[in-house]
Structure 1
Amino acid sequence: MMRLGYLFAFIACCIALVSPAGAHEIRPAFLQINEISTGLYDVLWKVPVKGSMALNIQPEFDPAYTLKRAGEEALLDGFAVYRYRLAGDQGLPGSVVRVPSLRNTTVDVLVNIALEDGVHYSFVMNPKDPQVQVPQTPSSLQVAKTYITLGVEHILGGIDHLMFVAALMLIVRGWPMLLKTITAFTLAHSITLVLATLGLVSLPPPPVETMIAFSILLVAVEAVRLRRGQTSLATRWPWVVAFAFGLLHGFGFAGALGDIGLPQTDIPLALLFFNLGVESGQIMFIAAVMALVWLLHKSVTLPERAPVAAAYAIGCLASFWVFERLGTLFV
């Protein structure tokens, strides 16, 4: 296991060194369409802001509909928010919703449609396929597909969460303990994700994001201490640390889900499949690391200091995040 530990470390180091400095930089755009009377709709369009500029993307509808601005643009939590009034002589089911300029971005669009009779639709558009035909009949399967996709994309785009998992690999000894540790992390962040999303508990995002970065730094420090022959609670029972900090990471997932939005008529289903998507993405990451471990184990011999180098790399990245996010506490 020790040689495999070096390989884990090398991979974690590479990931840390090539990671972008900020996590969750690109979030999905959000299109909410609410029918207020027959053929008349309120439209809410939220577009991620990069720097000081909102992405130049706009929704389009079939020629049978007229889309007009209904209010001024506003900035809210990193999004540019636009409101429209959509009118047409026919119902939205069967029509096409598109965002043509989405092809020039790396952003997905979550679309929620709520009709006056209580029927609800949810789906995702992506840059490769920036349009969708609204089905005549809504499907729970579509909601499940939409939110499991968003969950996978969120965790794979959340470099800080993946760095925490990578750091845990540096302090875990043996496959049984690795399984136990990852299970504890999964259980913990699932608990707070559900509680926070349902509004039963809440924490402000800036302290949560800062503490997530600090949790990565702490585990990286413990990895260095372990290679120096020192032990602690974290290295003896890493699953305890994974569970404790997993509760904190769950608030981060809940914050992302809050930005995305939930279909009000399918909250339990959407919440379940978003969480399953997060877990699927996490498993994909671990599986990818294991696959690289196997390949590297067959082809190269890593230096004995690889685990320490990896821990320092992850720790430096986490330190940058800590100081960067501390600034948001005083804004």
Structure 2
Amino acid sequence: MDASSGERDHVHTELGLEYDLLVVSAADFEHNDALFNDGTAAFEGGEPTAQAAALEQHAATVVQYVANRFSVTGDGEKCTPTKRGAITIEQRDGVPYAYLPLDFACPPDVKAHELTSKLFPGSEKYVRSTNTIVTYEELDLQHGTASLNSSHPSFSTQQSRLEEYWQFFRLGAEHLYTGIDHILFLLALIAGSRRLRDIIAVATTFTIAHSVTFILAALGFVSAPASVIEPIIALSISVVAAMTLYRLWRGDDSDPRELDWPRLALVFVFGLVHGLGFASALGLDRDFSWSLLSSLLVFNLGIETVQLAIILAVFPVLMFLRRRLPLAGLSATGAIATGVCAMGLLWFVQRVAGV
């Protein structure tokens, strides 16, 4: 979502909302069966012009739903929303998004604005959680980026840069520890690492790779459809885990003084793909700005912090078992690798099939 204001008594916004989710949510909210039927038919037809026309035909319902969930206040007084242009449709990773322009008329001489987003709440049962990324320019002479969710649905133009960074750090940390596919990939890396230098090497390789594509994708320099990225992420989990199982099966006779360069190369390639997955969590489509870049770096720092915490929690335990109780360590490594490999294959099949 973009927010900009040239005047303190008006806030001009453009909200980018997933088309099919907007249709079913607004139709259910207003009990508008015609919107549901028209919007669903346009979605299945896949024609952006028809999709925009369906929303425009029921614009009053759409605006009423959004205004009930998204609000702007000026010095604590509610601003009045008005649709200020045509609804347009754009594709993001093969998914249609509706762009709704709204103008919020606020009281005069406002010193600070506050934006609140409760769009697509879990109570509607269509989604489990929603993150709203707000980019604002010349709003109360401020500019920056904010992350809103059900736990922190609002932000004020009086918030400090530190508060803004904390929001993105938390969002990055939450994305990793709630992203089971990324965690399983990390467990596969841990299980296949024999020594401290191994886990440092693979963790560093993975971090560098996913950081590069994450930043480039989030800033709009590279892109790939989710229908391609998600199956590859699932496959990467199985491949890395299978490499560990193969080494256990043949017996590890490699030189302990040498790094496993083929494995590191594979981790780097898969890390590039995981970075695209991290970027899709934000759903950004903004042009480059230093403010946005700094927020993305903090988001990535949140990811790295949780990644390090998982390594520190799991790797020492495996190392202890391998050195003190070799049989137990071997069994634990094999069990982790087998479970991760099986789960990755299951997800790969499901994602390719579109289940």
Shorter-chain TM-score above 0.5: yes
The answer to whether residue 143 in structure 2 is matched with residue 120 in structure 1 is yes
In 1, the alpha carbon distance for the partners of 2:291 and 2:148 equals: 19
Distance 1:290 1:51, change over 3 A: farther
Aligned equivalent of 1:214, options 235, 238, 254: 235
Shift of residue 44, structure 1, vs aligned partner: 2.8
Contact in 2 for aligned 1:33/1:114 (Cα 8 Å)? yes
Shift of residue 275, structure 1, vs aligned partner: 1.9
The answer to whether residue 295 in structure 2 is matched with residue 270 in structure 1 is yes
Aligned to 2:108: 90
Q: Which runs of 5+ in 2 are unaligned?
A: 30-67
In 2, the alpha carbon distance for the partners of 1:97 and 1:58 equals: 11
Aligned to 2:344: 318
Shift of residue 123, structure 1, vs aligned partner: 2.6
Aligned to 2:35: none
Aligned to 1:13: none
Distance 1:108 1:195, change over 3 A: closer
Provide the TM-score with structure 1 as the length reference. 0.71
Q: Which runs of 5+ in 1 are unaligned?
A: 1-30
- Decide which moves more: 275-284 or 80-89: 80-89
Aligned to 1:289: 314
Shift of residue 277, structure 1, vs aligned partner: 1.9
Shift of residue 182, structure 1, vs aligned partner: 0.6
Contact in 2 for aligned 1:110/1:260 (Cα 8 Å)? no
Shift of residue 296, structure 1, vs aligned partner: 9.9
Aligned to 1:177: 198
In 2, the alpha carbon distance for the partners of 1:95 and 1:200 equals: 32
Shift of residue 270, structure 1, vs aligned partner: 2.0
Which runs of structure 2 are paired with 1:136-285 in the superposition (5 Å)? 139-230=160-251, 236-237=260-261, 238-259=263-284, 264=289, 266-285=291-310
Contact in 2 for aligned 1:123/1:146 (Cα 8 Å)? yes
Shift of residue 82, structure 1, vs aligned partner: 4.0
Shift of residue 222, structure 1, vs aligned partner: 1.3
Query: Alignment partner of 2:115: what SS?
Result: strand
Distance 1:177 1:93, change over 3 A: farther
Distance 1:304 1:178, change over 3 A: closer
Q: Spell out, residue by residue over 1:235-293, the C-alpha distance to the aligned partner (whole angstroms, 9 max, x if none).
A: 94443332232122222223334448678451331232222222122123323435877
The number of residues matched between the two structures is 294
Aligned to 1:22: none
- Decide which moves more: 107-116 or 48-57: 48-57
Contact in 2 for aligned 1:64/1:90 (Cα 8 Å)? no
Counterpart amino acid of residue 59 in structure 1: F
Q: Spell out, residue by residue over 1:286-315, the C-alpha distance to the aligned partner (whole angstroms, 9 max, x if none).
A: 2343587799999xx958544333222212
Aligned to 1:65: 79
In 1, the alpha carbon distance for the partners of 2:236 and 2:4 equals: 41
Shift of residue 165, structure 1, vs aligned partner: 0.8
Query: Alignment partner of 1:228: what SS?
Result: helix
Identity %: 25
Query: Alignment partner of 1:214: what SS?
Result: helix
Q: Spell out, residue by residue over 1:120-165, the C-alpha distance to the aligned partner (whole angstroms, 9 max, x if none).
A: 1433334334333331xx7443443232222222222222221111
Name the Cα RMSD after superposition.
Answer: 4.0
In 2, the alpha carbon distance for the partners of 1:58 and 1:263 equals: 28
Q: Spell out, residue by residue over 1:51-107, the C-alpha distance to the aligned partner (whole angstroms, 9 max, x if none).
A: 985497711233441013455596863766544221123366523333468585643
Contact in 1 for aligned 2:209/2:269 (Cα 8 Å)? yes
Distance 1:259 1:173, change over 3 A: same
In 1, the alpha carbon distance for the partners of 2:175 and 2:302 equals: 8
Higher relative contact order (CA 8 A, sep 6+): 1
Aligned equivalent of 2:4, options 34, 41, 52: 34
